[in-house]
Each structure stands twice: as C-alpha cells, then as structure tokens.
Copies of this chain bind each other. A is one copy, B any other.
Amino acid sequence: MYPVERLGIKMAFENLSEREQKVLACLISHYISSADPVGSRAIANKYRLGISPATIRNTMQDLEELGLVLQPHTSAGRVPTDAGYRLFVDRLLGSEEITDSERKTIEEGISSHYGGVDAILGQTSRVLAELSNQLGITISPKMDNSVLSRIELMQLADSKVLVVLAFHSGLARTILVEVEATIGLHDLINMSQVLNEKLAGLTLGHIRKTIQERLANTTGSPRLLRFFIDNESDVWNNLAMDQLHIEGAENLVVKPEFSDKEKLQEIIRLINSPIGLIEDIRGIDSPDSGIVITIGAENKAQEIQSCSVVSASYEAGNTRGTIGVIGPTRMPYAKLASLVKTAARQLSRVLKTGRQ
C-alpha cells in the first residue's frame, strides 16, 4: 500500500533465502509444464532438495506472504503470481540454449527473400510462432526513423500513378494515386527527379514535418502534389505507421489459459486489429538490444494483461524494429529468451548483408 511497505517487500525480494529461491524456482518450473497448482509433495518428489514436504509447505507460506505465489483455493497447491515470475525472470533464470535443429529452422526460415523486408518479417513471425508454440510477432523497422532512399513515379494505365518509396531499411511501399489525366512521361521523370532531390536522404519523420515547405514551389501534376502536401490525404502519417505481423493464433487455442472462449475471442480480435499494441511493445525496447520481458499486468494493453511478452530489437539499415513472442505468463522464459535473441540476431544479419 504505502511506499514504505512496498520497499519492505522489495527488500524481501532481495533477501530471499537460498531455500526460498530454490522452492520458487522449482515451483515455477513445474507449473510451467504442468499448468496445475503445485503442491509441496510434488516439489519434494520431483526435485531432490533434501527437505521434506512439510518444510516446503512452510517455505511456500512465506513466499505467499511475499506475494510471489498464491493459492487458487484453500486446499490447492500454489501458482506463481506476476511478481513471482518477475523475480524468477530477473534473478533465478538460467540460460537455456536452443537446439541445433531450432537454430537451423531459424537460419533457414529467416533468410533473404525477393518479397523484401515485409516478406522476411512475415516469415520471421511464423518461425517464432512455430518454435515458441506461442504468438510470434514482428514489428517493422521504425518508419519514422527510416531514411527514404528513393521515390519513383510510375504511370499506370488510365489516370493512375504508382508511387514507389524505397527506404534504407530495405522496406519498399507503393501508393496508388489518382491524377487528373495521363501525365507525360517526360513530366513524370522530371517530377520523380525533383521529389528525389527534395526528399531522398531524409527520415520519414523529418519529411512528415517539413513536407509543406519542401514541396511549396514545386511544379508538376497538381493533384499529385496536392496528394503529397495536403494533410487531408494523410499519406505521410499512414506511411509512418509501423507494420505488425502476428502469427500462431492456433497455438493459443489449446492452452488452458484460453479455455474461456471470451478470453480467446478477445485476444484473437486483438491479433486481427492490433491497434495500440505496436506502441506498447515498442515502448519496452531496451537500449542495448538485449531481451526484454514484460509480465502480465506490466503490459499496458488491457487484452494481454494475463500474458507475457519476450522481445528483442533488430537492426535494419539505420533504424530498428522489434520482434518477440506473446503467450500466457506461464511460459518457458529461458527457452523463449534465447529463441527470440537468436532470431533477432539472425534477422539483423539477413537485413544487413544485403542478401535480401
């Protein structure tokens, strides 16, 4: 309640006895695979800690007072709380290397693709979902920091112009614009050149803010220019929206945490229109590109407050993106951490070597 008390609890976290740590670790390990409340006897039998169930019971009572575990009901075993997972992840988590076959799947799955960065990200989220048995997510390189490398205009049949924007990060986006009439080839090339001169080399964020002045005295197709300049068309804001790929909904269906249909429906709805989720996950980027784990209620998005997110960032040109997995808080953190880390590294490598 009061800061002082919270501090007290914090101190207790630090001062957990060896035994309490061990019991907590065993309990969580066991719970992660069983999904059932863990009793003292189960721990005593499965892990040879050299202490009796009665002692474990006493220890578990202490852990419960610290808010690290809880009992669903009086005569049940214990289940970790968010705080328990937090402590486990921060201080008790061993490293668990991925297998050779998993590494191979990552290297083969996350590889150059003529579909470009978008296709690679799609594949990455599929690989993450498959290997983690959770939701696999990828967020495109932060568009606002992406440097526009080229902009090209292409006349289609009728009165349509296809605008192709290529970014240093390797991303390419196309936009279809309706213009007044067929623009002459010469005019189009001319306009392309001017646009490149005025916009190429700038970040999208920069372009968004200064587009009006930059294109103020430009000549060319009025409708095309208006499309670029008018706030109403909202092109630049839309371009700046990062893309999110989520795969693996089928993995959640069979998890006991989602046996409640309402809950399952809610999260599937979130997957299909993940508005807001991007900022939430991005917000937890670590500066040193390490693994970031947010647990349960630590997540801002309402819908995933009983889930955890294991994420890492990757490099793409001069900007970064984020990948990760989402699943119930009961997840194999150590394993997923090394999975996500390996995948992020592989993704950075693929995007860097230009093998894409």
Contact = CB atoms under 8 A, between A and B. Distances in A.
A176 B154 CA distance: 17
Contact of A154 (B152, B247, B268): B152
B254 A261 contact: yes
A164 interface: yes
Contacts of A338: none
Interface in A190-225: none
Given A152-B154, A249-B268, A114 B162 contact: no
B162 A156 contact: no
A265 interface: yes
A151 B349 CA distance: 30
Contacts of A156: 149-150, 166, 172
A223 B235 CA distance: 35
B254 A269 contact: no
A146 to B, nearest CB: 12
Interface in A132-162: 149-150, 152, 154-160, 162
Nearest to A356: B176
B164 A164 contact: yes
B254 A272 contact: no
A175 interface: yes
Contacts of A355: 178
A114 B165 CA distance: 13
Contacts of A264: 253
Interface residues of A, number: 44
Contacts of A172: 156, 162, 174, 176
A174 B164 contact: yes
Interface string A213-246: 0000000000000000000010100000000000
Interface string A158-191: 1110101010101010111110000000000000
A8 interface: no
Nearest to A317: B157
A162 B157 CA distance: 20
A13 B166 CA distance: 61
A157 B164 contact: no
A328 B265 CA distance: 17
B114 A235 contact: yes
A162 B164 contact: yes
Contacts of A261: 253-254
Contact of A177 (B114, B152, B268): B114
A265 B269 contact: no
A209 to B, nearest CB: 21
A342 interface: no
A61 interface: no
A157 B152 contact: no
Contacts of A170: 176
A115 interface: yes
A256 B117 CA distance: 40
9 contacts: A112-B178, A114-B175, A115-B176, A116-B174, A162-B166, A164-B164, A174-B174, A178-B355, A253-B268
